[in-house]
Structure formats: structure tokens, C-alpha cells
Amino acid sequence: MKTIIANWKMNVGVRESVALARGTLLALRGRRVIPEVVICPPFVALSEVHKVIAHSAVQIGAQNVFWEDHGAFTGEISARMLTELGVSHVIIGHSERRENLCETDEMAKKKVAQALANQMNVILCVGETAQERTAGTERERVRTQLAHALSDVRLKSHDRLLIAYEPVWAIGTGQTPDVPDVLAMHEFIRSVLSDVLPNMDASQLRVLYGGSVDGTNSYQFLREKTIDGLLVGAASVKLNQFKEIIDATSEVLDAQKSV
């Protein structure tokens, strides 16, 4: 299976989100094997987008969640509120939130716990900055992010957690790491996951790649067995690009099916 997460960020309003959701459904129509697709619109569009995808295989995710379930937390949204809207997934620890809103690994940890307690599927983003890569500390950074965010997690099913390896320097820049570098980092991430979640078989946990994926470069990542899917930002709000990514995913899945 391959999982494609579409992070629409703050790029589309309600009307555009509904149109994009309809277009995404059309892009999936008539395929032999359908990838798992999770679309993550802005909060304000969750309800309307859920109506569009309600009777399809497409799932809906939120771009953030708060770590308490109710109370005096102006402007925040709880996991319980999200599940009420039919939201099944949530992105936690995205680098744009770490950078712009000073989100820490401790906050990510509390959000992961809250999302899992509400039966949501967590998409935990990890990745190093350009400076960390230059300094050769990328593995240290990713280990710290994983170990902290998952330190109290007791997973019952490997389906509930997806890790998105997203080098910060690759997000929205048009730059991507070489595939062997992604594969090496994915292997490292699985080794950290075996330490942090000893009751889980780390080979069964999904590890995705994210950062400047588009229609032309998606296949090189998707064809790799240990890359379980993609987290797509900018290209996910351009239907022609997103369709090319879905085409590449279908090609890989069809090939796997006929082996």
C-alpha cells in the first residue's frame, strides 16, 4: 500500500477546497488499485470537504490539533471536535508550525497523545534543517524529534501512526534530497522506532517522504519499497500535478499487484 497525504496548508478557502476535493475524487476514478489518499484542508473547510468525500475511499485530515480536550483555550481545536466532523487523521509537528509558531517536541508529544486517545491517526512530521544537514547532525535531530514525541505512546495498531520524513530545506523550495539519502534516513527512522516503540514491528509502521514532491519527481520515491507514500504540499492544490502523483502511485501499485 502507498499513502498520499495532501496538505493544502492555508492555500485554499472553503469553495476552492470543495472544488479540489471533487477534482481529487475524479482523479482517483477508474483505477485498478487505489492508493490511500488523505486530504488535509484548512480547519474552516473540513466540514464541507467531508460532505464531498463522505461516500468515497478518500479520508480527511486536519493540519493541527490542540493537546487538551476542552476548556479556555481561545482559538484552539480539540481532537474530539475534529472527530465529530469525521476527521480521521491529523498532521502533527509540521516544520512550518515549528518555525512560525515555535512548536516544540514537547508540544508534539502532547498532541500525539491527545490525537491517539481520540482514535485519530497521527501523521508525525520530522526532519532536519539545512544547517543541521551541513553540520552532519540530521540523524541526531530526527532521533530527538521521534524519541520525544513518541516517548509515552503505547500503540495498539501500526495503522495509527505515520511518520513523514520532511527535510525542512526541501519543503516548498523545489529542492529534494537524493533517493539514497531518503532511503538511508527511512532505515534510520525505523531503527529509532524499534527502540521507542518496542511492542511494534517497525517494518510495519509507515514512513513517508515529503518535500517539494511534484508530478515529475514523485515516481522515483514511490517506486521504493521502503517509502510508504508521500506528504505533498504545494503540488496537492494543483489538480494536474496531484493527478500526476496519483498516476505515478497507481503505476507502482499496479506493478506490485501483477508481480
What is the footprint of ligand PEP within residues 2-21 (CB under 6 A)?
7, 9
Residue type for position 142: V
Q: How far is the CB of 72 from ligand PEP (least distance, A)?
A: 30
> What's the CA angle centered on 140, arms 191 and 123, to 5 degrees?
60
User: Does 108 interact with ligand PEP (rule: CB under 6 A)?
Assistant: no
Q: Which of 232, 235, 239 is nearest to 3 (CA)?
A: 232
**Residue in 171, 192, 207, 222 binding ligand PEP, rule: CB under 6 A:** 171
- Choice between 103 and 200, CB closer to ligand PEP: 103
Q: How far is the CB of 257 from ligand PEP (least distance, A)?
A: 27
- Choice between 241 and 250, CB closer to ligand PEP: 241
Is 257 within 8 Å of 32 (Cβ atoms)? yes
Give me the active site residues, please: 94, 166
User: Does 64 interact with ligand PEP (rule: CB under 6 A)?
Assistant: no
CA distances from 42 to 17, 61, 131, 225 (A): 8, 9, 30, 31
**Residue in 61, 93, 210, 215 binding ligand PEP, rule: CB under 6 A:** 210
Q: How far is the CB of 210 from ligand PEP (least distance, A)?
A: 4
- Other CB atoms within 10 A of residue 68 CB: 12
Positive or negative: CA dihedral 132, 101, 11, 9: positive
Q: Of all residues in the chain, what percent are helix, strand and coil, respectively (each to 5)?
A: 50, 15, 35
Site size for ligand PEP (CB under 6 A)? 14
User: Does 82 interact with ligand PEP (rule: CB under 6 A)?
Assistant: no
- Choice between 143 and 233, CB closer to ligand PEP: 233
User: Does 207 interact with ligand PEP (rule: CB under 6 A)?
Assistant: no
CA distances from 3 to 6, 36, 116, 138, 155 (A): 10, 5, 19, 25, 19
What is the footprint of ligand PEP within residues 225-244 (CB under 6 A)?
231-235
Binding-site ranges for ligand PEP (CB under 6 A): 7, 9, 166, 171-172, 210-213, 231-235
